[in-house]
Amino acid sequence: MTATSPPSPRSHPLPRPRPFGRALCAMVTPFTEEGLLDLDGAQRLAERLVSEGCDGLVLSGTTGESPTTTDAEKSALVRAVAEAVGDRAAIVAGIGTADTRHCVQLALEAEKAGADGLLVVTPYYSRPPQDAVEAHFRTIADAGALPLALYDIPGRTGTRIEPETMLRLAEHPRIVAVKDCAYDLLGTQKVLAATELAYYTGCDEYVLALYAIGGAGYISTVANVTPRHFRSVLHAFDAGDTDEAARLMQLTIPLTELMMASGLPGTVTTKALLGALGLPAGPVRAPLQPAGRETTDGLLTAYERLTAAA
């Protein structure tokens, strides 16, 4: 018998929709030591993230402390970051609130400020039924011209975007993507198989897992400090080197666990580590409280081990 040659690595990524690129960072919102919006710091941080491999920046998400920033600050942040990065990266503005009318206002302001897309979370606390969830997203999508990414994170909002609802919403021409934090790979694959929605994982531990089953990429909090490393996971997978992709992914787990599963919000740990690295971040706004010295030292140690191993 003639031995068959192993398949050659793919020279191009799998064809999949990527309306905002594939490597996105859920960027923190830098503040001054007095707690004011630090637009210069935001521009410097955005420039670093884009130069180190981010295709897009998500502004004013939960990581960006959207609950405690004003509408005016949100618009100013979009304008400043858009000015800093130009057309080198997509700017996705978080506009999610529990109030549909307020979301529409924020959507229109983000569009004026120069955003390329919108991230809209499920209305929280009021726990609307699925027909109301669907109407909420459709109203926002109908209000302006920008494409929408739906943010499905029932652990925070109390309400899931059920797969059947997602299938109906996928029919809307401006609903193009999902930030997936539902921890339901079966439901995710059901929607991936039936729609052209671009699925981005918002859970840093699932970057490779979701990408391998047809996801578009990630919207990562940890990428605030490790933009190159997460990008390298996708590069290895696209090249057909799945063993290397898995190795690189596994290297991120200790840092991801400390940043995202230590009992502190990711915003707190990210700002602590950015500050320890001398990068723009500043304090968090109340009710969040800063990380302690021991936590910050642990984050810095895990970061240094990751960069040394990579």
Residues acting as catalytic residues? 151, 179
Compute, in degrees rounded to 10, the torsion defined by CA atoms 39, 41, 42, 47: 130
The answer to the question of whether 161 is labelled as a binding residue is no
The answer to the question of whether 63 is labelled as a binding residue is yes
Residue 302 to residue 115: CA distance in whole angstroms = 34
At 30, list the tokens: 């830098």
**118 Cβ contact partners less than 8 Å away, ≥ 6 residues apart:** 92, 93, 94, 95, 107, 110, 140, 144, 146, 147, 148, 149
Q: Identify whether the C-beta of residue 16 lies closer than 8 Å to the C-beta of residue 50.
A: no
Q: Measured in Å, how far apart are the chain's first and last C-alpha atoms?
A: 41
Residue 156 to residue 273: CA distance in whole angstroms = 23
Please name the residue that has the structure tokens 């089953």: 213
User: Binding site: which residues?
Assistant: 63, 219
Annotated binding site for pyruvate: which residue ranges?
63, 219
